[in-house]
Structure 1
């Protein structure tokens, strides 16, 4: 029997998505990240495929495409949740500072460890290998923090999103320096960043104004296709493409903030809100499916035997210690004493894997064991699991109250939006989800 027949593939994908949905339920009850369960499922499938004589490595080519699409969907999903208000400025700046300093400090310490313990590794290559290991995984964090109080949930959404974007920018800045002929230096990097922001804003306004006039009922996947196209073209032009996705999400989630003055007359708020709501749903659904397939395929392709190396264990433990030591210092500096469970929520995941496979051939070091990657991903996920379980046991009442408060807010907003004329709520400075409800 051909194991990769059409019907077998359909059955396999369907069962995987069903199991992922069940894993999400398990994760909410136990605080064990669903991603960890998906990787375990992938490892089980790896041995099943080997038993039927199939080669798990043939799935490697799918990882990059799934990772890129998943990354876009996850960042867009996060951006659609972010409210840009004056009272959100300090939390956003704190989150960005923690994400940036944590990224650079963690990458530097990890690079020093790799340079010292991996044979034939230059400091330049060490930075390239260390950067993916230093990026927080919004793919794991965002679904995992829904039970936290609103302020802590917002912090993790901001921090993980900034970590993703800044980490990718740092990685591609480092890869650009491998080729002196193409290296534009720090000045060129910031010029590229400014150009990306300008293009992102222009594209965001254009997309919203055009799509609010499209009458077809099947325009959301067209919108997704446009965003994917912009991302890919941005990459071809060596722009920081993820910023395009982030800014578009922020603009459509905070329409009243971005469409002020003369621009307001061009915005059909009702139609734009409808696009926002539908985009929010389809983005979340797509991110769920892509994330599921990505981590299962990652589990299928990993080599578990690499975890048995003492050298892998030593390097990984040193990197893990550095991650949490740096995080502890930053959280105490910026957040004070209330740093639990934030201290433990620093998992590595989708971006770490995606960037690892994007390391240029000229920077690849044969002595680097991929088991380090797997060890750090599993290790940070287990630490997060322990931290979330500890927080749930110590603060069960607080979590229940936070959940009830969110439900009450949603019910109040629904009542207001269905009993009050829209113009009465149109006050300057409001944004985020309230714009779109």
Structure 2
């Protein structure tokens, strides 16, 4: 909230004093993605993915998907009814409101039990990822067009393959680099 308020205040002051203050959208998107990655990485340092955790991860994924879907559609219908906009525009507005933000959820769970804390971290992480994918799908020109659905599925497959390849490379580096400095090196590379 502090960062949003600071941004609004800076924009107001820039307009008031006629300062041309333009940040490219690509820079804003990059900074947002970087911030999200740092939040998720910081939270994941406490997690250990073991065989016993697989049901928790699955349940967190399904919970994130269900909560995001139901909440997005409910908020979109409310916005459509209240403002009289199209369902697509209402859904574009609703998706960011429906995401269980890891920026809020992850720092808030430190006092909870380990099992609940892990579930919330996984759920918030999945909610962020699914929310971004869902939002990028909805902002395309035609929602239920064959080409749009194919592009969406192709993007998900590419993202999954790149993520898996990157994860295996990082695991290989972690196992090959001796000493305790390896985690700082890998985080520095990221």
TM range (shorter): 0.7 to 0.9
Residue 176 of structure 1 aligns to a residue in which SS? coil
Q: 1:38 to 1:125 in 2, by over 3 A?
A: closer
Deviation of residue 268 (structure 1)? 1.9
Q: State how many pairs are aligned.
A: 188
Matching of residues 38-437 of structure 1 within 5 Å: 38-39=3-4, 42=6, 46=9, 50=13, 53-54=16-17, 58=21, 61=24, 63-119=28-84, 121-178=85-142, 183-185=147-149, 189-206=152-169, 209=172, 212=173, 267-268=175-176, 270-271=178-179, 274-277=181-184, 279=186
TM-score normalised over the length of structure 2 = 0.77
Deviation of residue 73 (structure 1)? 2.3
- Structure 2: distance between partners of 1:275 and 1:85: 22
Residue 58 of structure 1 aligns to a residue in which SS? coil
- RMSD between superposed Cα atoms in Å: 3.5
Task: Answer whether contact 1:110 1:130 (CA < 8 A) is retained.
Answer: yes
Q: 1:81 to 1:182 in 2, by over 3 A?
A: farther
Task: Answer whether contact 2:65 2:130 (CA < 8 A) is retained.
Answer: yes
- Structure 1: distance between partners of 2:133 and 2:15: 42
Deviation of residue 191 (structure 1)? 4.3
- Structure 2 residue runs of 5 or longer lacking an equivalent are none
- Structure 1: distance between partners of 2:98 and 2:64: 10
- Structure 1: distance between partners of 2:79 and 2:167: 41
- Structure 2: distance between partners of 1:92 and 1:76: 16
Task: Answer whether contact 1:78 1:157 (CA < 8 A) is retained.
Answer: yes
